[in-house]
Amino acid sequence: MAGAAGGESLAARLKADGTWNDLWDGLDELDPEWTENYLGAILEPYESGVLPPQVVQLLCIAVDAACTHLYAPGLRRHIRAALASGVTQREILEVLKLATSVGVHAINVGLPILLEESGSRGVSAAETG
């Protein structure tokens, strides 16, 4: 997947269709070959046909809504595309609910460490509140 039909680069295609991420500008300027390979990899789920377009959009919503990513422009674009492809508001809401579960792990991991470290300093759980 070196480029779009007719020799047009993937970067040029994404810029033309409005799906280019301005954060990629520096990558494209410094290493256009690497950028083309990266774009080919991220476009594969959209173009391979392995997953239905609705599923791809729902997965993109989950990634962009995850607390480790939180990319609002992409989230907006993928919600619009999902709705346009027939995904329901309720289906999108369920994906957003699932995406929130990524953040709960901060407590699951952090709380035992906090209690352990507090205990090693002689601070009881009651004193931490």
**Do 116 and 72 fall within a single domain?**
yes
pTM: 0.75
Residue 113's domain spans which residues?
A: 52-129
Residues 56 and 42 reside in one and the same domain: no
> Residue written as tokens 């594969």?
44
What is the Rg, in whole angstroms, of the alpha carbon atoms belonging to the chain?
21
Name the domain boundary from 28, 50, 72.
Answer: 50
Distance CA 96, CA 67 (A): 11
Question: Which residue's entry shows tokens 């970067």?
Answer: 11
> pLDDT digit string (tens) for 49-107?
999 999 999 999 999 999 888 899 999 999 999 999 999 999 999 999 999 888 888 78
The number of distinct structural domains making up the chain is 2
Helix (H) or strand (E) holding 102: helix 89-120
